[in-house]
Structure 1
Amino acid sequence: MTKPENGQIKAQVKESQIEQLIAQAKSQLNLFYLALSFFTRLPVPQSMHYSEILLNKANRYFSLVGLVTGLLLALIYVGFSSFLPVNIAVLLIMGVSLLLTGAFHEDGLADMADGIGGAFTREKRLSIMKDSRIGTYGAAALVMALLLKFTLLVELTQQDSNHLLLALILAASLSRAVAGSLISSMPYVTDDDLSKSKPLAQAQSSTELSILLLIGIAPLIFYASEVVFALLLVLLIFRWLFKQWLMDKIGGFTGDCLGAAQQISELLIYLTLVSFINKDILSGVIT
């Protein structure tokens, strides 16, 4: 075999490897678009390919969807705060957040509160969660969550607006990582035909979990080590307690439970950050 032939073979192999990398990149981008279309109202390319199997694999990008959402909210807040008082700008970005996500996670929180708070048997709790109407427990949980979120976000702006901007990005990504990680360690317990999370919540591989968590914790690089430790500790304790509570109440999780986990995790992140403001530990944030 001559040298030109060897060179031609090597070129073909290299070209094939490049084509494989491009195909893999397009496949992952398609999964991200699927996650984005499921969890937000943001537009995605019409060329996006859908199947239930692919949608289930898209759970690896839950936290990336949160990262995109958080970045958008941070940019919008910068725009609003340039000509509006802080409290009004915060209220407006909360409204924008609801529009971006279609209040998807807030709806899950309300439904879970209604189901678990308003019944004493597993079957009845699951039945109530499927009801699109909101009850007293759901309304109370939703109002309290929104009021607390508004108060905490305004508090984060008092020292430096950079704290709020980074908090929006961190909370959006890390809270979704916490919620999404529940898929890997709990059984799915709802009617497939009525499930809001179908087929996203069916399974999660170790690779998908790793990608989810790595993206979720990425914004922590901007925080001091004390803050990072406190945040992770709080969220790990919450995840363990929430998992045990769900197993006791319904024997697993539903799509509504994932939404509730995201909302509660987000609030816990804001609470933890606010708790460090007076200690001046958030000075570790890059400004």
Structure 2
Amino acid sequence: MSRWLFEWHALMSAIQFLTRIPVPGGMHQPGADLAILQHSIIYYPLVGGLLAFLTGTVYGLACFAWIPLVAALLALAFEAFTTGGFHEDAVADSCDAFGGGWTRDDILRILKDSRVGSYGALGLILAITLRASLISSLVVTPEKLLLVVALVASSGAIGRWTILVMRTLYPLVSGRDGLSKDIAGDVRPGMFLAGTLWLLPTLIFVFTVTLTTAADQWEVITISVKLAAAVSLSAICGWLWGRYAVQKIGGLTGDVLGCGCYLGQIMTLLVLTASIPR
């Protein structure tokens, strides 16, 4: 029973860390152990999928009242409110640091700076614009509403899973304090496997919805192949981005991980919205 209780608090901790949604338990319980926070990383894909499910629902419903681009921006605004712009802030900080920093010390100093410079502003605008454009390219009809929601949900789950990929492959920057050190002090292969298993519910959900809403077998095959490609390419994206950070500053930081998550989401949407000729 105590093990299941620990797992429950780890899940609540993941929700508390990634969103502003008020939930009981987790790190808010009296005498909470830091191990709960560290273990919560395996639930990132599940929480990311649930959060993006809400984002996709807002987009899908808003499409019945506004044009798709406006609906997508409203959905992303809802998500930013729910998360506090957690990963958007990481994108801006990473673009500023790696775009404007010439040395390791410069990059680390800029990463700690709360101000947003020209590189950060440009990078964030492009990232949000690209993500909104990709979401708005998903055509919503009454018959395809649930499928569109499921596809957006998969991008959120795979994006958070990319964090696990990076933390399994690369270390954190040594001698640097921050939430990244607390949340992912030691990600072992077993934790990566557990986190990957928590990615499966969202992928199964997408596949199930595809089977029930697809117009023909070709659409089922296309979406299935795209989903597998999205997972693979997001992992490669996280691997390359993490490797670049290790070369520049010797490891990962919270901002680097958050930016990697956003890259994973964009990569997933790029793959899912790509045209495949028959």
Match of residue 52 from structure 2: 70
Does the residue aligned with 2:136 lie in a helix, a strand or coil?
A: helix
Match of residue 271 from structure 1: 270
Does the residue aligned with 1:99 lie in a helix, a strand or coil?
A: helix
Change (3 A) 1:70 1:91: same
- 1:144 CA drift (Å): 0.1
- 1:162 CA drift (Å): 4.2
> Is 2:160 aligned against 1:181?
no
| Structure 2 counterparts to residues 197-276 of structure 1, below 5 A | 197-221=180-204, 222-223=206-207, 224=221, 225-276=224-275
Does the residue aligned with 1:275 lie in a helix, a strand or coil?
A: coil
| Structure 2 counterparts to residues 33-182 of structure 1, below 5 A | 33-45=12-24, 48-49=28-29, 50-157=32-139, 160-182=144-166
Q: Distance in 2 between matches of 1:120 and 1:30?
A: 42
1:229-268: CA deviation from partner (whole Å, max 9, x where unpaired): 3223322322332222112111110000010001111001
Task: Tell which deviates more after alignment, 30-39 or 155-164.
Answer: 155-164
Does the residue aligned with 2:65 lie in a helix, a strand or coil?
A: coil
Q: Distance in 1 between matches of 2:53 and 2:231?
A: 21
Match of residue 4 from structure 1: none
Maintained 8 Å contact 1:197/1:254: yes
Q: Distance in 1 between matches of 2:100 and 2:145?
A: 40
Q: Distance in 2 between matches of 1:113 and 1:196?
A: 20
- Matched to 1:31, the amino acid is A
- Matched to 1:117, the amino acid is G
Change (3 A) 1:190 1:117: farther
- 1:180 CA drift (Å): 2.4
- Matched to 1:215, the amino acid is W
Change (3 A) 1:264 1:178: same
Percent identity over the alignment?
28
- 1:190 CA drift (Å): 5.7
- Matched to 1:175, the amino acid is G
The one of 15, 27, 35 equivalent to 2:6 is 27
Q: Distance in 1 between matches of 2:87 and 2:113?
A: 16
Question: How big is the alpha-carbon RMSD for the aligned residues of Structure 1 and Structure 2?
Answer: 2.1
Unaligned runs of 5+ in 2: 208-220
Match of residue 9 from structure 1: none
Q: Distance in 2 between matches of 1:123 and 1:26?
A: 42
Task: Tell which deviates more after alignment, 239-248 or 132-141.
Answer: 239-248
Maintained 8 Å contact 1:35/1:59: yes
1:264-285: CA deviation from partner (whole Å, max 9, x where unpaired): 1100111111113x537xxxxx
Match of residue 211 from structure 2: none
TM-score by length of 1: 0.82
Maintained 8 Å contact 2:166/2:239: no
- 1:163 CA drift (Å): 4.4
Q: Which structure is larger by alpha-carbon Rg, 1 or 2?
A: 1
Aligned residues: 257
Q: Distance in 1 between matches of 2:228 and 2:18?
A: 29
Maintained 8 Å contact 1:181/1:212: no
- Matched to 1:213, the amino acid is T
Change (3 A) 1:54 1:157: same
Does the residue aligned with 1:71 lie in a helix, a strand or coil?
A: helix
Change (3 A) 1:147 1:190: farther
Unaligned runs of 5+ in 1: 1-21, 281-287
Q: Distance in 1 between matches of 2:200 and 2:158?
A: 6
TM-score by length of 2: 0.85
